[in-house]
Structure 1
């Protein structure tokens, strides 16, 4: 939504007042973000539900330098009390604060609200960050776990399936905290299809039937009371396009992040389509890696991990860099292998992994993902 810039004058402090209280009426049902980031006063902000004495919704001192940011879910037409003041002992002054409705703003992520869901498509690994997210989804009986049906600090994704079958959405390889996730049929307020709290430790996994080209709503959040964080989630459909068979046949070892780097694929394993992408996650942030493949499976302790392919090994140059969440992808041109001995043809099985740098782990300073086999058609 549009940003409203409202003036306030903390010079009232000289009269014994240390704050301004403003009654704010929400124009829409959305996340409201209030910030003083464009100002210079050392502020402290709070928001309350209803009039004076209502429940506090959020409070903040320093988010952007000595200035403040708060966010809270609001309902159109409801009144909220905003408290704009100074950090105790700091001088007041004449300045402005900003009010934004609709997620993003100066605080939460852009996909904080269901109405602003991030658009994604296909299979692979997708980053999320619900560190500063608010909660705008409602509870559901499918989400009942440990006495609560809620998901907190949720972020939203509008996902289009690229195949028919059963979709698996999971944070098992890249959870940024104690996650809880759900999927819905179509848009905001639609029927919940699946929900899960803990499947793999404190991470989550859901499965639900999908149709190629259909849009579904994904909700990634935290178990109530748990902190949010940055991570990634994986989406797969029945092992990929065309009903091809795949398998993680070999496990590596945990790297410096505490996770074992995983490998998956997306697109199509039909050779004629030439639409095959390798995806990995759970690696150390901003480090280089090299996808490799070969015809022979193995499980060889090597470096700080396990090498799941034996010679001859082909390299899919050039190397790629993992992003800040430790994920990377590479489109594989099936028509132009690094050598003719590595030509992928219909009916053949090939094994894939990634060699990755991991200097924070010490010792050899490198490791590997798990091993993935794919039967091509």
Structure 2
């Protein structure tokens, strides 16, 4: 989570004059009147908690919407712009909200801003204001904390001249254009574009607008890479305010925290540019660079360059556009998207039968490759191979080919990456028997089993299993197959943890022969570093189909897997652990835990006991390593966020998401432990679970002491239950 407020940027410490003796009214029907900018004292020592403003959705934090010990002010703005109202100079654990004036907020949903912890345990809100207009301010405490005395600081920043898409500044041609987002607000337009979904958010904060007319036709590159602002930018066709769903390009982080978009343009046409920030970041000033390059000759699949045989073939994406073909292939879904940007096309004729390896590994471009049967533009869904990152940021695909047949090769870039030039290396070797689920290698019993997926292709089977969805993709690349018969009854562990340096991915299916869709018994991506381990109950003499492959985009190789049968498995599987690589503020937890907190650097650990059976649910979640005596929210989601790695959220990682259900709030005991044992309903009833559902769980807890990132909240590891 990125938290910033304009008050800090403007230097609120310069506002030293106390503007009156008002201390706030305990009743919203008689708020104390204040006006203008400055510091205003408040005293909530004897304040009660009224019924108004206690159910605002915007005020939901750490399991509660309430604002305790609240006092009220009727504030009149003395300027038009963005009002920043904060209690950052106070010592109390505050929670504040702003409403339109005109009486008590008796109807939930009327708040225009609300915040709990913005600067330590103090609060800050921003909202647009108009000269002479009054606003109702609610100044209170986090639920359970006592009131006291403090100050609220108010400043107003002027809005940017092109803060509204209806007032976009006209620019033309190529070059460097200065921009300033200071005083800009986040409007309603361009806030829900699918192309703008990055790190779980589609919104663009502090956005300003330009109406740009190119003087050349070709590929336009709009970049803020030289700026220091944490930008997010979008482009829309035409002039004026954009219609929802019409963005033609969007990017958050292309060059560090800065942004770059590329899209095809026509000379003399107008395009609307939205230049903002990542949600929660502060606006600023910088430069926007615009260039236009003419399109490549093989920019269209209908004009593909003909090549044949094996060897090295140069490619050049300079000036290429992103066409409509080959943009929604399931096999190409990596890191949250199937798109292939800046693509150029080749019609390649195979000179031998076998497995073809096509790679850009010797290039410096961040490439993405796909191969299709036949020449010309491909049929949707027909990709027989696709890859993003196999050798660093470069790509390698494998496919079974027949001598004399023609195949269409799409050479592009990862979405948002810059086009460039490089080499396409093509070679063909013999086919691999275990590469097909119809002809698996037959194995039995327990022990270590060697395999080699160096030349394995990625088949069609076992590529869309819900249980295999990790890090944005269900695909298992370079997969080889084994028909395995168990020699004992119990819990089987199938693992590449000891025998592989590869980035593996494993799945197990019942029976023999190619698996039916949705039939996987277990699947795992990163169970032990980049290697994998699955656990499942097996019966002696029964056969199971093993799919051993790689995380999408990584290369195959020679390795081994181990099979061991022991006792029963726990009701679910922990996931999303905070290691040193992903920890937001150098606060990794102990292996298997969430990120470290100020009370326990080992981090919180979420586990479960009982029976995860919808008809006989005895499941109980328990957590340790929490901040003592602080509240925590147990919640359920349908997705493993970011493929199970999670995304940074406060002092920790958000691991469970999608259709979030709040299971209940539990306070940690003095030892830092809590559980769902005292909840009135079962987990399945509270979460609306049906038989066969795959659900993900996590604990979001308050951690105000020694907060590593200053967010004052953290999360446990995730936990997956197959009901």
Normalising TM by the smaller chain, what interval?
Answer: 0.3 to 0.5
Structure with a larger share of its residues in strand: 1
Larger radius of gyration: 2
Give the TM-score normalised by the residue count of structure 2: 0.23
Give the TM-score normalised by the residue count of structure 1: 0.42
